[in-house]
Amino acid sequence: MKIKRETLSELREWIEDYKRHLLEIEELKDKIVQVLTLRDKIKNLLEKLEKKGADLSAEKSKLDSLDQIIKDKPQVVWKRLKNHIDPVLYRKEHKISPEHWWWYLDEIIKKEKEKLTRRWIKRAIVGAVVIISAYLFFVYFLPKPDPYISCIQKAEQLLEEGKINPALETYQRAIKIDPEKPFAYMMTGVIYQFLEEKEKAKKYFSEARKRYSSLYDFYLQRGMSWMKLGKFTAAQDDAEKALKINPKSARAHFLLGSAYEAQNKIPEAIAEFSIVSKMESDPKLTVIARYKIGMLALKKAASKGP
């Protein structure tokens, strides 16, 4: 059937009107409802013409390019729309289906934020692991490359791979290499506690405590050890105990912030890292804390709804 020239011309006129409005999208105010209603009319007419056999490939291609303007700035359009109507109620009252996606920009925004959040969480976790591991390595291990340290490094690697029992055996081997150093006792105790063998854990914690120079050092190191096994609440408890002894400890505040972050307590984590960022006692931790504040602020912003 031959398509009426006027009908096809009308479609093209509507698309041009749509284009004109979208090129001024930042200035759209009360016309936003009119623009989206025009998009509805364009969709309906497209479907009618297609049923009649019209070749609309050129028009559809142009329309896709114009639609991308809205998809690139969904927050702008959604904000303008909310200033004039209740979009959710409007959709319901007018029985607008999700095929008319321009009325469902909140869903698009939500999906984008979820995607961004997942990406930042992944980056934050990877970044935190790399940074903390590097910090611990340079502070504790690099200056003392001896058999004890080599054994500890092997145990750490096994632990990261989830091989709990082999890691436990390796830490115990480190104790035999140098019975006077506390770290292997601590990690052995933490693993036994993780395995719910509390009496054995208590024994090794006692041996570790004898070898740390202060109770503060003991709590701080045990808190850091809990983090390795994902016992974030226990890490938080030990960080708080360390801070009661030494409230000005950058390392204890940093540990507490890391424990909060791991539990997704973002405001609390930012507060602790902010304290560290203002301290001068440990320049490396100050830099890392500032980096983590930025990462967490982005994560917090991304998790908010449209």
Q: Is the pLDDT of residue 2 over 50?
A: no
Name the domain count of the chain.
3
Please tell me whether residues 176 and 243 are part of one structural domain: no
- CA 155, distance to chain mean position in Å, is 29
25: closest CA among 57, 84, 68? 68
Q: Using the 3D structure, point to which of 103, 127, 153 is the last residue of a domain.
A: 103
- Evaluate if residue 174 carries a pLDDT over 90: yes
Q: How confident is the model at residue 207 (pLDDT cuts 50, 70, 90)?
A: very high
- Same domain? For 72 and 116 the reply is no
Tell me, yes or no, whether 206 and 240 share the same domain: no
pLDDT at 134 (0 to 100):
60
pLDDT of 142 strictly over 80: no
Per-residue model confidence (pLDDT) at position 188: 95
Q: Show which of 73, 103, 133 is a domain's final residue.
A: 103
- Do both 71 and 188 map to the same domain? no
pLDDT tens digit string along 233-273?
999 999 999 999 999 999 999 999 999 998 989 889 889 99
The domain in which residue 77 lies consists of: 5-103
The CATH number that applies at residue 198 is: 1.25.40.10
Q: Do 219 and 203 belong to one domain?
A: no
The answer to whether residues 301 and 281 belong to one domain is: yes
Say yes or no: 156 and 220 in one domain. no
Q: 3-class DSSP state for residue 86?
A: coil
pLDDT(54) > 50? yes
Q: Count other Cβ atoms within 10 Å, centred on residue 270.
A: 23
Buried b (16+ CB within 10 A) or exposed e, 78-115: bebbeeeeebeeebeeeebeeeebbbbbbebbeeebee
Cβ atoms of 77 and 105 closer than 8 Å:
yes
Same domain, yes or no: 87 and 203:
no
Whether 159 and 132 share a structural domain: no
Spatial distance between the Cα atoms of 75 and 60, rounded to a whole number of angstroms:
24
The predicted structure's pLDDT at residue 178:
94
Residue 223 has pLDDT above 90, yes or no: yes
User: Do residue 170 and residue 97 come from a single domain?
Assistant: no
Is 68 in the same domain as 92? yes
The predicted model scores a pTM of 0.53
Nearby residues of 3 by Cβ (< 8 Å), 6 or more positions away = 49, 52, 53, 54
Of 177, 211, 245, the residue at which a domain comes to its end is 211
Q: In this structure, are 247 and 151 located in the same domain?
A: no
